[in-house]
Amino acid sequence: MVPAVHVDFYNADELKSEVSWIPNKHYSGIYGLMKLVLTKTLPANLERVIVLDTDITFATDIAELWAVFHKFKGQQVLGLVENQSDWYLGNLWKNHRPWPALGRGYNTGVILLLLDKLRKMKWEQMWRLTAERELMGMLSTSLADQDIFNAVIKQNPFLVYQLPCFWNVQLSDHTRSEQCYKDVSDLKVIHWNSPKKLRVKNKHVEFFRNLYLTFLEYDGNLLRRELFGCPSETDVNSENLQKQLSELDEDDLCYEFRRERFTVHRTHLYFLHYEFKPSADNTDVTLVAQLSMDRLQMLEAICKHWEGPISLALYLSDAEAQQFLRYAQGSEVLMSRQNVGYHIVYKEGQFYPVNLLRNVAMKHISTPYMFLSDIDFLPMYGLYEYLRKSVIQLDLASTKKAMIVPAFETLRYRLSFPKSKAELLSMLDMGTLFTFRYHVWTKGHAPTNFAKWRTATTPYQVEWEADFEPYVVVRRDCPEYDRRFVGFGWNKVAHIMELDAQEYEFTVLPNAYMIHMPHAPSFDITKFRSNKQYRICLKTLKEEFQQDMSRRYGFAALKYLTAENNS
């Protein structure tokens, strides 16, 4: 949602046959060669385009580069920067034979293309004939599209407008870019021109790495602000959003709460590599949770307790996302796990959008079932396998059930985690464990019926009661969380109420448990406790939610209003 930016995707598979006949030794593989077919791939009415490699950092406004097209004269159709290594000079090692090029040749990490003129010149035939001729002697390309571009230019030097070097400062072990570094203020594009990227042995690499890391830690929301010189074409989504916001009353004391529902957060799905192979019996369960930076230390412990897939939504600023990346890459436990999906929702607004985060994590699971948990709980060892068996035993595939995993807590930062139900019961008796929120919010988990659970050997059904908020295992098609609830309060209660309204059966698992680990109170619970207006708004939102429930579920939803009045 950057103003005036429109994104199109093209299917690379449809283009492979155009270039797959060219043998290529470069690490970009077949994809680097696809720059050659842009005249054919891009829309016929597109006249000019700037082509960028993905390992490029802009240190200036790209509008400056667009302005360079006006300097093209005559038959100039390609804007390129000279290659800054000695590759095309052919003297890097004994018998080194590069493709033909003018002098140092040109680097194709940044290309300005006049597509309309290139099409008139029959660019397709031009590069194909050149490639076929040169491959008879060279056998393969070493630098993918760059070799072919340079061979064409060697024959037709008039095609090129040479860009100043600061539009493509190439950083690699073999670069001779000293002349380009002299006037540091004028470095406009940095090209990490090596398979090693940030780890090249160039003596200036620290300077460039710091520039890159500073860029990564900028507040990315700034890019979405309206820019004066950038006419914004408002799309339908944006117009709908503006309409919804205009309907809110800015004098309403709960305006900020209501506005939060309509905030569109930047979201980076699968921030790290994710891979999961589903089991043949279709019983896989994904643990779903959300967190912010202050709960990051829980990740390793959860990974040690739960071997199944995990889907996490992390609420971070751009700078925190980089801290998280460094933390994850430095953790053997996290790096050894491929089946954890990390989805970053970038910070915006003044509330913690807890239910939005849960929905993001829920939507991006690749299993038929999910365990809706919280990041400060450790599941019992072996819970993943136990839940998979329970899915079959309770026929979750064809019945509307929510399997409850009973929740306990410890007030001790160091806990010898119980290996069995018997050990947990003994710890309950000794007072080292308690039923969850026993001291402060008994109603939240009372319907689980812990007295019955102590001796239960088979699953048992319980009834919904006001303020019930157990942790459940459900099918992936269960309703989403209600986004109006942000920060602290009623976010899970409302979801469990909706499950009940949709006639889910609540079934307690007799041999499952999870334990809440102690931590400092969150910023949101502190706001709830200290800010009267916060509590008033939460009460208002609760009442509005219940009215919505009555509209959606009719007579069946009356019990929620009466239960609330009695509680």
What is the Cα gyration radius of the chain? 30
Q: Does the pLDDT at position 529 exceed 70? A: no
Q: What is the pLDDT of residue 123?
A: 96
Q: What is the pLDDT of residues 18-37, one digit of tens each?
A: 999 999 999 888 998 999 99
Q: How far apart are the C-alpha atoms of 467 and 494, rounded to whole Å? A: 8
What are the backbone angles phi and psi of residue 17, rounded to the nearest 5°? -65, -25
Which tokens is 511 given?
């041999």
**Residues 57-78: tens digit of each pLDDT:** 888 888 899 999 999 999 999 9
Give the β-pairing of 460-462 and 377-379.
Answer: unpaired
pLDDT bin (cut points 50, 70, 90) of residue 216 is confident
pLDDT band at 137 (very low <50, low <70, confident <90, very high): very high
pLDDT at 348 over 80: yes
For 332-344, what is the mean pLDDT? 96
Cβ of 389: how many Cβ atoms within 10 Å?
11
pLDDT, one tens digit per residue, over 240-290 is 777 777 777 777 788 888 888 888 899 999 999 999 999 989 999 999 999
Structure tokens at 556: 């069946």
**Average pLDDT, stretch 202-218?**
82
Which of the four pLDDT bands, split at 50, 70 and 90, describes residue 566?
low
- Which pLDDT value is given to residue 263? 85
The string of pLDDT tens digits covering residues 73-129 is: 999 999 999 998 889 988 778 888 999 999 999 999 999 999 999 999 999 999 999
Distance CA 252, CA 254 (A): 5
Q: What is the pLDDT of residues 456-491, one digit of tens each?
A: 999 999 999 988 999 999 999 999 999 988 887 788
DSSP letters spanning 435-500: ETTTTT-GGGTGGG-HHHHHH--S-EEE---TT---EEEEETTSPPPPTT--SSSSHHHHHHHHHH
Q: What angle do CA 307, 368, 449 make, to 5 degrees?
A: 75
Q: Across the chain, what does the average pLDDT equal?
A: 89
Alpha helix stretches (DSSP H) within 249-290: 255-260
> What is the mean predicted confidence (pLDDT) over 361-380?
96
Q: Is the pLDDT of residue 451 over 80?
A: yes
Locate 239 and state its tokens: 């117009």
